């Protein structure tokens, strides 16, 4: 499954790096504590978070995540988008709560 499938299925908006939506998603990780994400997420994961600061891009690049979904209608800072463009990390946003987004992605990956 790729990022484009997730964007369409969840009806979420991509804020940058649209050209990278063909990236394959191998799994997912949900969390807001950067050290936890660095220690426990895997390459190819879609990361679901409420964080909006530019450090999320550094973590996603380090861990080689497929992309980041920011939930609860949070708006990423301009510096975050700029850094994501530079690093080639797609950032998507959703109005939905984290629990709902994660559940839908899980369902899509395992039952669709």
List the domain range (segments joined by +) for residue 29.
3-106
In a domain, 30, yes or no: yes
81: tokens are: 């988008």
User: Is residue 14 scored above 90 in pLDDT?
Assistant: yes
In a domain, 112, yes or no: no
**CA separation for the pair 41, 86 (Å, rounded):** 22
User: Is residue 111 scored above 80 in pLDDT?
Assistant: yes
* pLDDT score for 54: 96
Domain containing residue 95: CATH number: 3.40.1390.20
Provide the pLDDT confidence category of residue 112 given band limits of 50, 70 and 90.
Answer: confident
Distance of CA 48 to the CA centre of its chain: 5
Work out the percent of the chain whose per-residue pLDDT is above 90: 98
Q: Determine contact, residues 104/10, Cβ cutoff 8 Å.
A: yes
Query: How many structural domains comprise the chain?
Result: 1
pLDDT in tens, 60-91: 999 999 999 999 999 999 999 999 999 999 99
In a domain, 69, yes or no: yes
HEC readout, 51-92: CCCCHHHHHHHHHCCCEEEECCCCCCCHHHHHHHHHHCCCEE
**CA separation for the pair 15, 8 (Å, rounded):** 14
pLDDT in tens, 34-66: 999 999 999 999 999 999 999 999 999 999 999
In a domain, 111, yes or no: no
In a domain, 63, yes or no: yes
């Amino acid at each position: 499954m790729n990022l484009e499938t997730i964007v369409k299925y969840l009806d979420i908006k991509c804020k940058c790096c649209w050209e990278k939506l063909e990236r394959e998603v191998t799994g997912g990780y949900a969390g807001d504590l950067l050290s936890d994400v660095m220690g426990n997420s895997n390459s190819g994961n879609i990361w679901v978070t409420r964080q909006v600061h530019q450090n999320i891009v550094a973590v996603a690049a380090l861990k080689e995540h497929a992309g980041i979904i920011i939930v609860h209608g949070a708006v990423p800072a301009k510096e975050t988008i700029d850094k994501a463009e530079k690093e080639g990390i797609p950032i998507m946003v959703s109005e939905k709560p984290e629990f709902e987004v994660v559940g839908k992605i899980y369902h899509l990956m395992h039952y669709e």
